[in-house]
Amino acid sequence: MSCTLHRANVVAILKREHQAARTLRDAHRAKQKAEGEFLTHEHDFRTSELHLTQYLSVGPATGRFLYACARSINAQNIVEFGSSFGISTLYLAAAAADTGGRVTGSEYHASKAAKANANLVDAGLSGSAHVIAGDARETLAAIRGPIDLLFLDGAKELYFDLLLMLEERLRPGALVIADNADMLPEEAGFLLHVGEGSDRYVTSLIGFYRGLVSLSVVLPQG
């Protein structure tokens, strides 16, 4: 049984990108420490240097989780909010290569989207995924359903907006995976909407080294 995630060039590109993410993050932290500040995510994604330059990516454990989720539901139509330099996109694209599906990623910063697409080419996965540059509220607005898997990893305050925008296009049994669930502002409403008491989703929070990931399965309606 083949697994694209284990293919030599995919392994090599993931290793290179995870290493680059760590190097940039460490340099950023050292700079902030020297300046007496703390690394914070409370920045506007459109204007902050953090969002323009840093990977802010999932780690290998979360990446393998994304691959496993997409592969286990044989996901054909995978949508990603917030691709950055495309590390999570690579994991999802590897799954899409194995299911015959496709990933549509989204990234506000054009330079990041271009690098994410170049990484997909390097990994031989450009036929399975593409990252669109621009605000996902616009670039993903017309995406076709049914959607099998929605991965939310862009601006935390927009998770709920993106979910509401795409909700009607999620098929029964689809998965909604939200990274950094522990960083969502309470007023964002996302966790209230998918959490206990929802008749549309069953949700569980899963702890990873870098925080909580929320996993929701979409229930059939009616």
Ligand X SMILES: C[S@@+](CC[C@H](N)C(=O)[O-])C[C@H]1O[C@@H](n2cnc3c(N)ncnc32)[C@H](O)[C@@H]1O
What residues make contact with ligand X under the rule CB under 6 A? 45, 51, 55-58, 82-84, 87-88, 106-109, 112, 135-137, 153-155, 158
Nearest approach, Cβ of 50 to ligand X (angstroms)? 9
Nearest approach, Cβ of 136 to ligand X (angstroms)? 4
Residue nearest to ligand X (CB): 82
Q: Which amino acid is at 134?
A: G
Nearest approach, Cβ of 181 to ligand X (angstroms)? 13
Percent helix, strand and coil across the chain, each to the nearest 5: 45, 20, 30
**Is the CB of 81 or the CB of 201 nearer to ligand X?**
81
Contact 31, 54 (CB under 8 A): no
DSSP H or E run through 57: none
**Is the CB of 77 or the CB of 88 nearer to ligand X?**
88
**Is the CB of 189 or the CB of 200 nearer to ligand X?**
189
Nearest approach, Cβ of 154 to ligand X (angstroms)? 3
Nearest approach, Cβ of 194 to ligand X (angstroms)? 19
**Is the CB of 49 or the CB of 199 nearer to ligand X?**
49
* DSSP for residue 174: E
73: its two tokens: 């539901």
**Is the CB of 135 or the CB of 198 nearer to ligand X?**
135
Nearest approach, Cβ of 77 to ligand X (angstroms)? 18
Q: How many angstroms separate the CA atoms of 22 and 12, rounded?
A: 16
**Is the CB of 88 or the CB of 203 nearer to ligand X?**
88
CA 210 to chain centre: 14
Phi, psi torsion values for 132, nearest 5 degrees: -95, 135
Contact 90, 10 (CB under 8 A): yes
Spatial CB neighbours of 194, under 8 Å, sequence gap ≥ 6: 163, 176, 200, 201, 203, 214, 216
Q: How many angstroms separate the CA atoms of 105 and 140, rounded?
A: 9
**Is the CB of 56 or the CB of 149 nearer to ligand X?**
56
Nearest approach, Cβ of 172 to ligand X (angstroms)? 26
DSSP H or E run through 76: none
